[in-house]
Amino acid sequence: MAGKKAENKKSGSIILARGLTKKFNGLTAVNSISFSVRKGEMFAFLGPNGAGKTTTIKMLTTLLKPTSGSVLLDGNDAARQKNLVRKSFGIVFQDPSLDDELTAYENMEFHGILYGVAKASRRQRIEDLLKLVGLWDRKDDLVKNSPAE
């Protein structure tokens, strides 16, 4: 593992993907892509529908395990060190992923459970995040009743 961390530091990369491949029942969704992103760089995936952008992002964020290849995020192996990797980034989804029939707190708790965040840690993180964005006092309001701003 120390060698991979050193590899990231040597290259100056915060994200390093090598030979990243994902196959689903014989269909190749992502075929051996390699790239690196240095700290402070802006980076984007562009391509038509079905090009493998979402699949690649899911592999980078530990939601999908690559069929082959590797992903290092700040020197941490995304396949072997999921918890360390997940602590190092945030995700903003293209499509809304909130359930209008749940409260803000319940939505965050649901996603925390999906990601395997421990109960005590999850509750503290939810409180911290809702306070950060000024929504702690509205944590029990249904999302559908929240004003869109």
Residue 116 CA to residue 96 CA, distance in Å, equals 21
Q: Where are the beta strands (DSSP E) in the chain?
A: 13-24, 27-38, 68-73, 76-77
Q: How do the pLDDT tens digits run along the chain, 149 residues long?
A: 555 555 555 568 899 999 999 999 989 999 999 999 998 898 888 888 889 998 998 898 888 899 999 999 999 998 888 888 887 777 666 666 778 888 989 989 988 887 788 888 999 999 999 999 899 999 999 988 877 55
Return the CATH number of the domain spanning residue range 2-86. 3.40.50.300
Tokens 């120390």 belong to 2
Intervals of CATH 3.40.50.300 along the chain:
2-86
